[in-house]
């Protein structure tokens, strides 16, 4: 059997694989894939079938890769504005955008106040400064962002009072504590609790609609609200919900009573945040009278740790976004119905190793 002359080293294979994964351009990805498959010994017919290219084209790509490396495989068949940056300049631009922030380059002249995130205006200035290139349309800069591995995203919110060090410390301690609890009693049920307020005023979310026909949601101007206590069973995904006009220690104690009635006779560990209505005499009295209920408090300003937050998000999306309900009690009924009729899976126990311990001791 004739030995194939074109063979890749392990480093070249890994380079092609990594570049293929991060590349957003379809034709260029095809070139990376074809060269890698052929260079690792795949039968020629299979490579041609997978990639849809001709044999002569594939061989030209392999020869180009041998001469120029990864850069040589970038699809250069670009017209109009997109042809103004060479393939090498596009790679250089990607590295720079991931290395610098607008603030580090332009200081107070960055397009946004703090200059931490890239904007079209910042990109336009950088491309002009680095490569003496200017595009005519904003869509061309959108395309550049896409080629460089950027996407248009809404920043995630993080509370200023949050301490990452305390969050890391809490998670390390929590894992050990939860495992110790399971070892003490494999009947222990783990729950996560949180509260939400529901308003008649509809929140909006993006939907698909015919071009030129913007959907309209008529919103209620009032600020009346219904408060909901929600507790997620981390084993079953079921939710226990309590409607309340106020959130205070007394209302919280009533919700805890509902939890114990729904899950009788076994130890319960309830994880919740440090809201003011989670403390007070009513809570202390309830805990003293019900020693099978144990509380663990999340760190300050760390709602992302609480699985019940994801339940609220899913239910709002299903029920209250873009809604047309005219009465708040009816909307609250729909909200509670969705909570009661659905289960909400959580990876919380897996994340902290609790399910593994259950398997060992059961």
Task: State pLDDT tens for residues 80-110.
Answer: 444 588 888 889 899 999 898 888 988 888 8
Which pLDDT belongs to residue 81? Answer: 45
In this structure, the answer to whether residues 197 and 85 fall within a common structural domain is: no
Joined together, the tokens standing for residue 314 give 């899913």
Tell me, yes or no, whether 154 lies in a domain. Answer: no
Q: How far from 344 is each of 73, 190, 277, 311, CA to CA, in Å?
A: 46, 14, 25, 7
Q: What share of the chain is helix, strand, coil (3-state, %, to 5)?
A: 55, 10, 35
- Domain that residue 28 falls in: 10-73
Tell me, yes or no, whether 211 lies in a domain. Answer: no
In this structure, the answer to whether residues 91 and 189 fall within a common structural domain is: no
Which pLDDT belongs to residue 249? Answer: 96
Residue ending a domain, among 46, 73, 100, is 73
In this structure, the answer to whether residues 31 and 123 fall within a common structural domain is: no
Mean pLDDT within 299-324:
87
| 129-160 b/e (C-beta count within 10 Å ≥ 16 → b) | eeeebebeeeebbebbbebbebeeeeeeeeee
Which pLDDT belongs to residue 80? Answer: 45
Give the range among 11-20, 104-113, 205-214 with minimum mean pLDDT: 205-214
Which pLDDT belongs to residue 50? Answer: 85
Which pLDDT belongs to residue 68? Answer: 86
Whether the CB-CB separation of 223 and 344 falls below 8 Å is answered with no
Whether the CB-CB separation of 321 and 204 falls below 8 Å is answered with yes
Main-chain phi, psi angles of 226, to 5 degrees: -120, 135
Tell me, yes or no, whether 217 lies in a domain. Answer: no
Tell me the pairing of strands 268-272 and 239-244.
unpaired
In this structure, the answer to whether residues 114 and 185 fall within a common structural domain is: no
Mean pLDDT within 270-281:
95
Tell me, yes or no, whether 120 lies in a domain. Answer: yes
| 79-88 b/e (C-beta count within 10 Å ≥ 16 → b) | eebeebbebe
Alpha carbons 103 and 246: distance in angstroms, whole number: 45
Q: How far from 358 is each of 4, 218, 284, CA to CA, in Å?
A: 53, 50, 30
In this structure, the answer to whether residues 108 and 61 fall within a common structural domain is: no
In this structure, the answer to whether residues 116 and 35 fall within a common structural domain is: no
**Torsional sign, CA 60, 62, 66, 69:** positive
| Closest to 100 (Cα-Cα) out of 117, 125, 124 | 117
Which pLDDT belongs to residue 325? Answer: 79
In this structure, the answer to whether residues 171 and 247 fall within a common structural domain is: yes
Alpha carbons 166 and 161: distance in angstroms, whole number: 11
Which pLDDT belongs to residue 1? Answer: 45
Task: Domain count for the chain, please give it.
Answer: 3
- DSSP symbol at 187: T
CATH number of domain containing 343: 3.30.420.10
| Closest to 143 (Cα-Cα) out of 232, 50, 24 | 24
Percentage of residues in the chain having pLDDT higher than 70: 85
In this structure, the answer to whether residues 84 and 38 fall within a common structural domain is: no
Q: How far apart are the first and last CA of the chain?
A: 57
Tell me, yes or no, whether 158 lies in a domain. Answer: no
Alpha carbons 157 and 302: distance in angstroms, whole number: 11
Tell me, yes or no, whether 271 lies in a domain. Answer: yes
Tell me, yes or no, whether 266 lies in a domain. Answer: yes
Whether the CB-CB separation of 93 and 148 falls below 8 Å is answered with yes
| pLDDT confidence band for 116 (50 / 70 / 90) | confident
In this structure, the answer to whether residues 96 and 135 fall within a common structural domain is: yes
Tell me, yes or no, whether 265 lies in a domain. Answer: yes
In this structure, the answer to whether residues 128 and 192 fall within a common structural domain is: no
pLDDT digits (tens, 9 = 90+) for 156-186: 655 666 778 888 888 889 888 988 898 888 8
Alpha carbons 208 and 313: distance in angstroms, whole number: 20
In this structure, the answer to whether residues 117 and 31 fall within a common structural domain is: no
Whether the CB-CB separation of 193 and 271 falls below 8 Å is answered with yes
Give the range among 115-129, 132-146, 204-218, 232-246 with minimum mean pLDDT: 204-218
How does DSSP assign 228-266, residue by residue? EEEEEETTT--EEEEEESS-SHHHHHHHHHHHHHHS-SS
Residue the block writes with tokens 């019940």: 308
In this structure, the answer to whether residues 189 and 314 fall within a common structural domain is: yes
């Amino acid at each position: 059997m004739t030995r194939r002359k074109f063979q890749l080293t392990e480093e070249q294979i890994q380079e092609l694989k990594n570049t293929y994964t991060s590349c957003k351009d379809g034709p260029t990805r095809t070139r990376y894939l074809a060269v890698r498959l052929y260079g690792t010994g795949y039968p020629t017919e299979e490579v041609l079938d997978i990639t849809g290219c001709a044999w002569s084209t594939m061989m030209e790509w392999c020869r180009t890769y041998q001469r120029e490396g990864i850069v040589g495989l970038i699809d250069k068949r670009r017209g109009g504005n997109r042809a103004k940056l060479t393939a090498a300049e596009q790679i250089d631009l990607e590295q720079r955008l991931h290395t610098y922030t607008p603030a580090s380059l332009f200081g107070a002249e960055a397009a946004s106040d703090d200059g931490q995130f890239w904007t079209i205006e910042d990109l336009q200035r950088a491309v002009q400064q680095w490569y003496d290139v200017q595009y005519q349309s904003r869509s061309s800069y959108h395309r550049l962002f896409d080629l460089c591995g950027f996407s248009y995203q809404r920043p995630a919110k993080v509370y200023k009072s949050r301490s990452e060090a305390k969050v890391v410390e809490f998670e390390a301690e929590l894992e050990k504590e939860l495992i110790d609890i399971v070892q003490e009693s494999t009947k222990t049920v783990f729950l996560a609790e949180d509260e939400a307020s529901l308003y008649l005023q509809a929140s909006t979310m993006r939907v698909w609609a015919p071009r030129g026909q913007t959907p309209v949601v008529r919103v209620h101007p009032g600020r009346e609200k219904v408060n909901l206590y929600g507790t997620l069973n981390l084993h079953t995904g079921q939710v226990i919900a309590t409607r309340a006009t106020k959130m205070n220690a007394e209302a919280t104690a009533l919700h805890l009573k509902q939890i114990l009635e729904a899950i009788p006779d076994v130890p319960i560990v309830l994880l919740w945040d440090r809201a003011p209505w989670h403390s007070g005499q009513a809570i202390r009295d309830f805990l003293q009278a019900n020693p099978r209920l144990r509380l663990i408090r999340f760190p300050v300003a760390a709602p992302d740790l609480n699985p019940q937050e994801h339940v609220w998000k899913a239910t709002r999306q299903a029920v209250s976004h873009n809604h047309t309900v005219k009465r708040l009690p009816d909307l609250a009924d729909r909200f509670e119905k969705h909570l009661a009729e659905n289960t909400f899976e959580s990876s919380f126990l897996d994340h902290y190793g609790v399910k593994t311990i259950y398997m060992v001791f059961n």
